[in-house]
């Protein structure tokens, strides 16, 4: 199927479905300058996430995680939402997209204007005290690190601060996971963007939607998961999703003209 035809088909599904959910992974933020740690090279080859982002390692040696965070802070601070994030926010404001479920912790969906975002892996824009749970903007932790501390601490109780992103080996928040499973179960259309679908239990969301007669639309430059897709949109999300929004608008205009 050519991309134009696939876009028309996807738009038709989205406009006519009662419940559309988007499920996004690292791939959607690559165009914002945040590297996917599963791809080789770059920052992640320097910091093995299995060590630097591991929860049991963090509890013993929090300075390792924060050392990596210092090295990555300019990458994270400079990242801006890209046209794919804005396209999803627009689909929400048009009334077509019910929710975004994301594996990302970069806060870019919210910054692009999406209001309904479920973050499976938490959010890296805040940090919390391991002892008293008080929450601060991540900039407060970074300020401490940049002024020479190896581990940022809570200004209230002196406890160790942690980023509010879920680390490897740490359980997902059950309320977020349950809500996401429910969304997947009742979604008529799931728009899957930039996720390799290798991380469990996130990959089960697609299977759950599918086994409940949901239609899967995958947007990805790689054909790796095309066997799971009813409609495959091959290409970078930053180029493809704005075109999908246009296709939805065209259908809406056509629908109104026929009334």
* Segment near Zn ion (CB under 5 A); pick from 147-155, 161-169, 187-195, 235-243: 147-155
> Does 154 appear as a known binding residue?
yes
Beta bridge mates, 30: none
| ∠ CA 47-59-109, rounded to 5° | 60
Name residues whose C-beta falls within 8 Å of residue 174's C-beta, 6 or more positions apart in sequence: none
CA distance 232 to 97: 18
With H, G, I as helix, E, B as strand and everything else as coil, classify residue 86. Answer: helix
**DSSP structural state of residue 190:** E
The minimum distance between CB 158 and Zn ion, in angstroms, equals 7
**Tokens standing for 80?**
């801006």
The minimum distance between CB 129 and Zn ion, in angstroms, equals 3
Contact between 157 and Zn ion per CB under 5 A: yes
The 107-136 site mask, x for binding Zn ion (CB under 5 A), equals: ----------------------x-xx----
Q: Which is nearer to Zn ion, 139 or 204 (CB)?
A: 139
> Number of residues in contact with Zn ion, rule: CB under 5 A?
7
Taking only Cα atoms into account, the Rg of the chain, rounded to an integer number of angstroms, comes to 19
The minimum distance between CB 162 and Zn ion, in angstroms, equals 11
Q: Judging by beta carbons within 10 Å of its beta carbon (0-12, 13-18, 19+), is residue 65 exposed, middle or buried?
A: buried
The minimum distance between CB 61 and Zn ion, in angstroms, equals 20
Question: Does residue 121 have an active-site annotation?
Answer: yes
> Does 129 appear as a known binding residue?
yes
By CB under 5 A, name the binding residues for Zn ion.
129, 131-132, 154, 156-157, 159
Provide the annotated binding site for Zn(2+). Answer: 129, 132, 154, 157
Q: Which residues are catalytic?
A: 121
């Amino acid at each position: 199927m050519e991309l134009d035809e696939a876009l028309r088909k996807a738009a038709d599904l989205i406009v006519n479905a009662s419940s559309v959910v988007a499920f996004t992974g690292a791939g959607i933020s690559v165009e914002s300058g945040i590297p996917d740690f599963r791809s080789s090279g770059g920052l992640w080859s320097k910091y093995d996430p299995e060590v630097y982002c591991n929860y049991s390692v963090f509890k013993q040696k929090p300075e390792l995680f924060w050392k990596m965070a210092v090295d990555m802070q300019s990458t994270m601070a400079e990242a801006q939402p890209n046209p794919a994030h804005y396209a999803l926010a627009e689909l929400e404001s048009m009334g077509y997209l019910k929710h975004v479920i994301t594996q990302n912790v970069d806060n870019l969906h919210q910054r692009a204007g999406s209001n309904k975002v479920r973050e499976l892996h938490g959010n890296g824009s805040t940090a919390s005290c391991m002892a008293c749970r008080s929450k601060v903007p991540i900039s407060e932790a970074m300020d401490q690190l940049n002024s020479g501390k190896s581990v940022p601490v809570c200004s209230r109780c002196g406890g160790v601060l942690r980023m509010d992103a879920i680390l490897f080996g740490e359980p997902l928040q059950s309320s977020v996971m349950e809500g996401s499973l429910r969304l997947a179960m009742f979604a008529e259309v799931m728009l899957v963007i930039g996720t390799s679908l290798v991380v469990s239990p996130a990959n089960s969301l697609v299977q759950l939607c599918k086994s409940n007669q949901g239609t899967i639309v995958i947007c990805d430059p790689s054909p790796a998961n095309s066997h799971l897709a009813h409609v495959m949109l091959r290409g970078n999300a930053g180029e493809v999703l704005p075109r999908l929004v246009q296709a939805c608008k065209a259908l809406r205009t056509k629908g109104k003209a026929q009334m």
